[in-house]
Structure 1
Amino acid sequence: MVEIARVPVLNDNYVWLIHDEASGETAAIDPAVGQPVLDAAAARGWRITQIWNTHWHPDHIGGNAEIKAATGCKITAPAAEAGKIPTLERAVSEGDKVSLGGIEAEVFEVPAHTAGHIAYHLPSEKVVFVGDTLFAMGCGKLFEGTAEQMYGNMKRLEALPADTKVYCAHEYTLANARFAITVEPDNQDLQRRFAEVVAAREAGEATVPTDIGLERATNPFMRASSIAELAERRAAKDSFRG
């Protein structure tokens, strides 16, 4: 049995703890900070044995050193960004496998937000940790990559089973929904989801994880019909102030 816990930190980051009950192992995904993540694990009686990083940005690796010092955990991160993640111990690339007890994650290379960004797909659990590549109704900014790369990422993730849970690293959903509705104002699935997100945020509730089925129906970047259309939508979102 696997349990996943959300740890909200900083302004809008989510760190995820995934716990394998059979082995007692716990991995922290993209720990932006140290102590709040350690505290969240301790409150559940879990000990962090691994860290999985999706990319090098400080709000995804900032807690690595502190958590390692406290627990002796092993840190896995993208090989293409090894020079930017000094705490890294195991560098992984496309197709590599990462294990948490008896649970296996496959590494996807999903560059665009950063040049070496990866995701961790756990097919047995129908779970994917996507960092800043895919958001609820959004995608990551193209800081180090291209619209072509992001379009490929969207198509790859779209092909996962519809009930695959998507664990992204930020609470961006309301802002993304406000933009998405301008792209497809007549999309009834999107209208319903927009209302649900507004209600959830007004109640102080988190809106992620999402799932692949929801993103297929409501995410303007996953729904883009071409590289050019995704590029146009990404540029529009970058300047959107709605």
Structure 2
Amino acid sequence: MMNAINADPAEVQKFSELAHRWWDPASEFKPLHEINPLRLGWIDGKAGLAGKTVLDVGCGGGILAEGMAALGAKVTGIDLSEKALSVARLHLFESGHGIDYRLVSAEAFADEAPGHFDVVTCMEMLEHVPDPASTISACARLVKPGGHVFFSTINRNLKAYALAIVGAEYVLNMLPRGTHEYAKFIKPSELGRYCRNAGLDVHELIGMSYNPLTKAYSLGHDTDVNYLLHTRRG
């Protein structure tokens, strides 16, 4: 059963149906293409990706995975959408990067390769799984002691509802309607607690904001909507 491996079949299907558009920078995945340089630079600044073994959990079509590989990391990407992984593998013929893509859950892979990676990333995924604490625990098991784990997700408050759902999905049409469910958004305090319970020490919380006038994203102190968290395994 899909739910036994901490996934919502409807969520997997939703992204599978859009998979062929993953690498189209003008598609529904335009925001991922636009934020990728920001999140990639932030991750690299914290972990120094060159020469590191890196796992991207919920890699989708491979936008972040390829960015990390381009910086010299040895990257593995895992996802539960075979269609998204097929697109990711196909794009490797264009980019020339060597990335190991696997159809496996974070929990199952943690049993297979515990403590194997220098860096684990889990970006824009936690708000799409039934049990985010389980995913976070798996990420903690996958990273080496002292290794880096990075998360990004969406805060749960009125402002986040107004901007991430009403604004992004219904007004600006930046995302397909139904991409996010408000009840699945995660407060930074909740994410921090999940991380500490999993044996991860919280090092930095940073916000990501979108300016509709300049149509540009930036990192800063505003964590009201989108935010990223840097942790390390103790």
TM-score class normalised by the smaller sequence: 0.3 to 0.5
TM-score (norm 2): 0.39
Structure showing the higher helix proportion among its residues: 2
Greater relative CO (CA pairs within 8 A, separation 6+): 2
